[in-house]
């Protein structure tokens, strides 16, 4: 999918108003990376050695991202603020593995990547002496986030093949997530008014919505045509129920039962 175009509009890091917005965006990123480190918790639920390897590697990468964003704050002489409640809600760990890989890795980190690659990399002004260095760091982060999304998509495909019924709650949750996004954008747009960069926000949200929709189609749970309202309500209700159920899920470990087979000692 084509990258989002901010028409060359960038933040002015000498303006207090722009610094306030950049600080807000970076603060959400910093919090997201801090919770990202806890993907290490998934190590306990890893169903095979490949998954265990992935979660170890991811936890190390997220910890590095956390420190990297802290460097960016220092480079720009900014201090982080507490996260927005939406970010807090969206980055809560889910112990139910199918929802975790779908909502956190495939969709969640996909949106994180949209913001890092399409917003931060495009709107930080190259004229600022530290920005070239910051962008180098962000490119590394983006490459690793791409790996996390790819893992989420691979696992989502595997789980959908094993349990085809998951396509209904997955679709419903996607509809719900996509219906919340424009509300969040509208709240920001009201605050940001006709700011040079922020005025692109409604178009950016639409861009993300289309990309996530196409991602759902590629993963096979979003139909070619948007289904009629009764199915959407049915899928959203199932999605909500599964999400509520997931809040009481407990991680179950398997590796201590499967390690001999995983290591090739048993069939
Ligand atoms: Fe990260
Ligand atoms: Fe990540």
Q: Is the pLDDT score of 182 beyond 90?
A: no
> Is 9 part of a structural domain of the chain?
no
Residue 83 Cα to ligand 1 middle (Å): 16
The two most distant CA atoms of the chain are separated, in Å, by 65
Residue 35 contacts residue 58 (beta carbons within 8 Å): no
pLDDT at 3: 82
CA of 146 to the centre of ligand 1 (A): 10
Q: How far is the CA of 61 from the centre of ligand 1 (A)?
A: 7
Ligand nearest to the CA of 148: 2
Averaged pLDDT, 94-103: 90
Backbone angles phi, psi at 131, to 5 degrees: -70, -35
Report how many domains make up the chain: 1
Give the tokens for residue 9. Answer: 């509009």
Distance 254 CA to ligand 2 centre (A): 24
Distance 34 CA to ligand 2 centre (A): 10
Q: Which ligand is nearest to the CA of 145?
A: 2
CA of 56 relative to ligand 1 center, distance in Å = 13
Q: What is the mean pLDDT of residues 91-103?
A: 88
Query: What does the pLDDT look like over 142-170, one tens digit per residue?
Result: 999 999 999 999 999 999 999 999 999 99
- Residue 191: the pLDDT is 67
What per-residue confidence (pLDDT) applies to 83? 92
Please check whether residue 117 is in contact with residue 3, taking contact to mean a CB–CB distance below 8 angstroms.
yes
Asked if residue 189 has pLDDT above 80, the reply is: no
Do the domain assignments include residue 241? yes
Range in 150-159, 181-190, 247-256 the model is least confident about? 181-190
Q: How far is the CA of 137 from the centre of ligand 1 (A)?
A: 12
Quote the distance between the C-alpha of residue 30 and its chain's center: 13
Q: In angstroms, what is the span from residue 62 Cα to ligand 2's centroid?
A: 6
Determine whether 106 is exposed, middle or buried from the number of CB atoms within 10 Å of its CB (0-12, 13-18, 19+).
buried
* 49 C-alpha to ligand 1 centroid (Å): 22
Please tell me the number of the ligand nearest to residue 55's CA. Answer: 2
**Which CATH number does the domain housing residue 214 bear?**
1.20.1260.10
Q: Looking at residue 41, what is its pLDDT?
A: 82
When the pLDDT of each residue in the chain is averaged and rounded to a whole number, the result is 91
* Cα 232 to the center of its chain, rounded Å: 23
Residue 113 is assigned to a structural domain of this protein: yes
Measured CA to CA in angstroms, residue 66 lies from 99, 159, 172, 206, 216 at distances of 24, 30, 32, 28, 29
Task: Write the pLDDT tens digit of every residue in 12-60.
Answer: 999 999 999 999 999 999 999 999 888 878 888 888 999 999 999 999 9
Cα 33 to ligand 1 centre (Å): 5
Average pLDDT of the residues in 172-197? 80
User: What spacing in Å lies between the alpha carbon of 136 and ligand 1's midpoint?
Assistant: 15
Q: Identify whether 105 is part of a domain.
A: yes
- Lowest-confidence pick of 40-44, 123-127, 170-174: 40-44
Tell me which residue range forms the domain holding 204.
Answer: 16-262
Q: What is the pLDDT of residue 211?
A: 95
For residue 93, what pLDDT band results from cuts at 50, 70 and 90?
confident
Å from CA of 227 to ligand 1 middle: 34
* More reliable by pLDDT, 217 or 89: 217
* Distance of CA 164 from the midpoint of ligand 2 (Å): 26
Judge whether residue 177 has pLDDT over 80. yes
Q: What is the pLDDT of residue 24?
A: 93
Dist. CA 146 → ligand 2 center (Å): 8
In a domain, 97, yes or no: yes
pLDDT score at 86: 82
Does 184 reside within a domain? yes
Does some domain include residue 155? yes
Query: Residue 20: is it exposed, middle or buried by C-beta count within 10 angstroms (0-12/13-18/19+)?
Result: exposed
| Structural domain contains residue 10 | no
What share of the chain in percent tops pLDDT 70?
97
Identify which of 49, 151, 61, 58 has the alpha carbon closest to the alpha carbon of residue 105.
151
């Amino acid at each position: 999918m084509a990258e989002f175009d901010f028409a060359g509009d960038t933040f002015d890091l000498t303006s207090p108003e722009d610094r306030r917005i950049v600080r807000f965006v970076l603060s959400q990123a910093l919090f997201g990376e801090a919770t990202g480190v806890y993907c290490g918790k998934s190590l306990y639920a890893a169903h095979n050695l490949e998954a265990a390897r992935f979660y170890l590697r991811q936890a190390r990468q997220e910890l590095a991202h956390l420190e990297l964003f802290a460097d960016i704050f220092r480079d720009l002489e900014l201090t982080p603020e507490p996260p927005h409640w939406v970010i807090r809600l969206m980055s809560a760990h889910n112990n139910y593995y199918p929802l975790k890989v779908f909502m956190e890795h495939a969709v969640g980190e996909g949106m994180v990547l949209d913001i890092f690659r399409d917003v931060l990399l495009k709107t930080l002004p190259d004229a600022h002496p530290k920005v070239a260095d910051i962008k180098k760091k962000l490119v590394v982060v983006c490459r690793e986030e791409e790996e996390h999304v790819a893992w989420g998509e691979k696992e989502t495909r595997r789980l959908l093949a094993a349990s085809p019924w998951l396509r209904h709650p997955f679709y419903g949750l996607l509809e719900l997530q996509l219906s919340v996004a424009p509300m969040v954008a509208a709240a920001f747009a009201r605050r940001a008014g006709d700011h040079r960069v922020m005025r692109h926000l409604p178009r950016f949200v639409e861009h993300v919505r289309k990309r996530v929709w196409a991602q759902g189609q590629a993963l096979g749970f979003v139909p070619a045509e948007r289904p009629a309202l009764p199915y959407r309500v049915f899928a959203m209700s199932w999605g909500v129920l599964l999400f509520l159920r997931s809040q009481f899920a407990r991680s179950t470990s398997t590796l201590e039962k499967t390690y001999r087979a995983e290591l090739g000692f048993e069939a």
